[in-house]
């Protein structure tokens, strides 16, 4: 018998809307789970501070989190371009001297640093900050993630989609976020999540119709760029990323 509500921390980005749609529409779920909508870094922090029992966390946070277990085969990933995790500049990478890093996700920051160091083979300085409405000067680039990319991407002459660069570098898809739970959370509770996720993913067209965003853009985003089911290739991509991330 269920006696308490479990707190779930998840992002309020477009890429997580299918999960949220399931939580809002599957009967009985609101009696079991309370949802907190945060940015990726805040999701990991909430879990670490015991303010969330279950969380959708950026995979970069797995390097430091404790008392967790991976749950479900769902997450947020891309098999090539992702559209919403990009390095932007008005100059080619060999002219970059300084890179501003979006403060919303450790995963994308580490990925950007890996691409910059090991693929582009340049050595700019890094500054973490809020990146909206930032006017770049000569020799500067900026890492931007999330929905705001759609708003600002036209402001720059150079765009490097980091998931596409990862795929070209490693031959593997990239996993951005996974679901985790405190180790003491029972299987009875965890098993209630898959039907929630399955419901949301089965209603992508309804999610698109309810969004103020451009429906053609969203249809491409959900059906072409974002992947939600993590099979063995995605798990290999995640393992490869975590091994490389440990060198940053």
Cα dihedral 21/26/29/31 (nearest 10): 110
Chain segment 56-91, per-residue pLDDT in tens: 999 999 999 999 999 999 999 999 999 999 999 999
pLDDT the model gives residue 186: 94
Chain segment 222-247, per-residue pLDDT in tens: 999 999 999 999 999 999 999 999 99
Q: What rounded mean pLDDT belongs to the chain?
A: 94
Which two structure tokens, joined as six digits, stand for 155? 């402001």
Q: In which order are the strands placed within the sheet that holds 158-161?
A: 125-129, 98-102, 140-145, 85-89, 158-161
Q: Do residues 106 and 79 lie in contact, with contact meaning Cβ atoms separated by under 8 Å?
A: no
> How far is the CA of 145 from the CAs of 24, 83, 109, 247, in angstroms?
25, 9, 10, 22
Which two structure tokens, joined as six digits, stand for 142? 């900026």
Where does the pLDDT of residue 3 fall: very low under 50, low under 70, confident under 90, or very high at 90 and above?
A: low
Q: Global pTM?
A: 0.93
Number of separate helices (H) and strands (E) present in the chain:
10, 11
Chain segment 135-167, per-residue pLDDT in tens: 899 999 999 998 889 989 999 999 999 999 999
Q: Three-state DSSP class for 98?
A: strand
- Tokens 């501070």 found at: 49
Domains of the chain, each with CATH number or no CATH: 6-79+173-245 (3.40.190.10), 85-170 (3.40.190.10)
Backbone angles phi, psi at 179, to 5 degrees: -90, 135
pLDDT for residue 2 is more than 50: no
**Which stretches of the chain are DSSP H helices?**
17-25, 40-48, 106-114, 148-152, 162-170, 187-190, 193-201, 204-210, 215-220, 232-245
pLDDT the model gives residue 1: 44
Q: Do residues 219 and 208 lie in contact, with contact meaning Cβ atoms separated by under 8 Å?
A: yes
Chain segment 189-220, per-residue pLDDT in tens: 999 999 999 999 999 999 999 998 899 999 99
pLDDT for residue 17 is more than 90: yes
Calpha distance 130→150 (Å, rounded): 16
Where does the pLDDT of residue 131 fall: very low under 50, low under 70, confident under 90, or very high at 90 and above?
A: confident
């Amino acid at each position: 018998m269920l006696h308490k509500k479990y707190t779930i921390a998840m992002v309020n980005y477009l890429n997580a809307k299918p999960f949220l749609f399931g939580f809002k529409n599957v009967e009985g779920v609101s009696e079991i789970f309370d949802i907190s909508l945060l940015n990726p870094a805040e999701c990991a922090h909430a879990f670490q501070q015991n303010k969330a029992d279950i969380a959708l966390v950026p995979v970069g946070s797995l390097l430091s989190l404790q008392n967790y277990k991976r749950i479900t085969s769902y997450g947020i990933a891309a098999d090539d371009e992702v559209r919403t995790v990009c390095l932007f500049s008005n100059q080619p990478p060999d002219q970059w001297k300084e890179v501003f890093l979006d403060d919303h996700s450790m995963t994308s920051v580490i990925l950007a640093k890996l691409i910059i160091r090991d693929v582009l083979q340049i050595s700019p300085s890094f500054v973490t900050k809020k990146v909206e409405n930032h006017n770049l000067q000569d020799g500067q680039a900026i890492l931007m993630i999330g929905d705001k990319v759609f708003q600002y991407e036209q402001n720059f002459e150079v765009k490097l989609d980091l998931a596409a660069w990862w795929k070209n570098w490693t031959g593997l898809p990239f996993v951005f976020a996974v679901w985790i739970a405190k180790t003491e959370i029972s299987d009875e509770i965890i098993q209630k999540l898959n039907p929630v996720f399955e419901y949301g993913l089965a209603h992508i067209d309804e999610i698109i119709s309810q969004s103020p965003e451009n429906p053609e853009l969203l249809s491409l985003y959900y059906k072409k760029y974002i992947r939600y089911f993590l099979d063995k290739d995605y798990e290999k991509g995640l393992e490869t990323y975590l091994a490389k991330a440990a060198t940053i």
